[in-house]
């Protein structure tokens, strides 16, 4: 038995386009990416309900939650770095006042503190972002691999493979480019998938495997 998923297909395609373009649009880019990801979630939920397979939706939902964590972390580090830099400058002014016993030594220590702390924070956050990106790519890989099994659309398999290699090479920054390519294949996957899919057969409630 086949089910019509044309509306979910179009919803997923436009959602994927918005999610991709969101990274290049200033000011409102994050909003576009968020809206696009939600549209993809809705599309995958609809497809999952139609064919009786919720793997793409569940895995993409996990990836979506991880993506939100990256956005929150990015906003936090901007404010934290700014706040600590201003705090370092205040300490510098305090130590370089007239009551300082050794002004040159105090100023040297304070300058090192002021310059090194933001760099340490940025390095730590970078490693954390890479880790979160790897987790995100892993769940997206599973989502699009499941979509390939459901739709037999080659572009979804290609997207899963690009996400896999993107996760492996994320630490050397090449992975971010590969993940970008993967998102293009996701768009192609929704564009090329059939309008009708085979419904997954449901096992009887009393069936079991010995």
Confidence band for 91, pLDDT divided at 50, 70 and 90 = very low
- Whether residue 207 is contained in a domain is answered as no
Question: Higher confidence at residue 104 or residue 21?
Answer: 21
For residue 205, is it within any domain?
Answer: no
Q: What is the pLDDT of residue 203?
A: 47
Least confident range from 27-36, 50-59, 134-143, 151-160: namely 27-36
> Does 201 reside within a domain?
no
pLDDT category at 76 given cuts 50, 70, 90 is confident
Decide which of 2 and 206 is more confident. Answer: 2
pLDDT in tens, 98-108: 544 455 555 55
What value does the mean pLDDT take over residues 10-23? 93
Is pLDDT above 70 for 23?
Answer: yes
Strand (E) or helix (H) holding 55: helix 55-95
Nearest one of 13, 60, 41 to 190, comparing CA atoms: 13
- What CA–CA distance (Å, rounded) separates 140 from 133? 10
16 lies in some domain: yes
Give the confidence band of 210 by pLDDT, cuts at 50, 70, 90: very low
Q: Is residue 22 part of a domain?
A: yes
Which residues make beta-bridge pairs with 102? none
pTM summary value = 0.76
pLDDT mean over 134-162:
95
How high is the pLDDT of residue 66?
Answer: 85
CB 200 within 8 A of CB 52: yes
Give residue 175's domain range.
2-196
Q: Does a structural domain hold residue 175? A: yes
With a cut of 90, say whether residue 11 has pLDDT above it.
yes
Token pair, residue 53, equals 């397979």
In a domain, 203, yes or no: no
Ranking 25-39, 94-108, 193-207 by mean pLDDT, the lowest is 94-108
Could you tell me if residue 202 is inside a domain?
no
The answer to whether 135 and 76 are in contact (CB under 8 A) is no
Handedness of CA 25, 28, 32, 33 (dihedral sign): positive
| Count of structural domains, the chain | 1
**Mean pLDDT throughout 47-73?**
89
């Amino acid at each position: 038995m086949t089910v019509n998923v044309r509306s979910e297909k179009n919803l997923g395609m436009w959602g994927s386009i918005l999610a991709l373009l969101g990274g290049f649009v200033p000011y409102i880019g994050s909003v576009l990416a968020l809206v696009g990801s939600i549209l993809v979630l809705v599309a995958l939920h609809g497809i999952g309900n139609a064919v009786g397979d919720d793997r793409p939706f569940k895995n993409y939902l996990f990836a979506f939650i991880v993506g939100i964590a990256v956005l929150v972390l990015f906003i936090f580090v901007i404010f934290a770095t700014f706040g600590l830099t201003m705090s370092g400058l205040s300490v510098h002014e305090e130590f370089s006042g007239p009551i300082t016993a050794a002004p040159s030594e105090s100023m040297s220590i304070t300058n090192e503190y002021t310059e090194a702390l933001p760099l340490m924070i940025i390095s730590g956050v970078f490693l954390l972002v890479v880790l979160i990106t790897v987790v995100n790519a892993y769940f997206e890989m599973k989502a699009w691999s499941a979509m390939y099994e459901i739709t037999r659309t080659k572009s979804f398999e290609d997207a899963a493979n690009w996400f896999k290699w993107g996760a492996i090479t994320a630490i050397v920054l090449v992975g971010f480019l590969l993940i970008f390519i993967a998102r293009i294949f996701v768009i192609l996957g929704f564009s090329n998938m059939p309008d009708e899919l085979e419904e997954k057969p449901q096992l009887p409630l009393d069936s079991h495997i010995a």
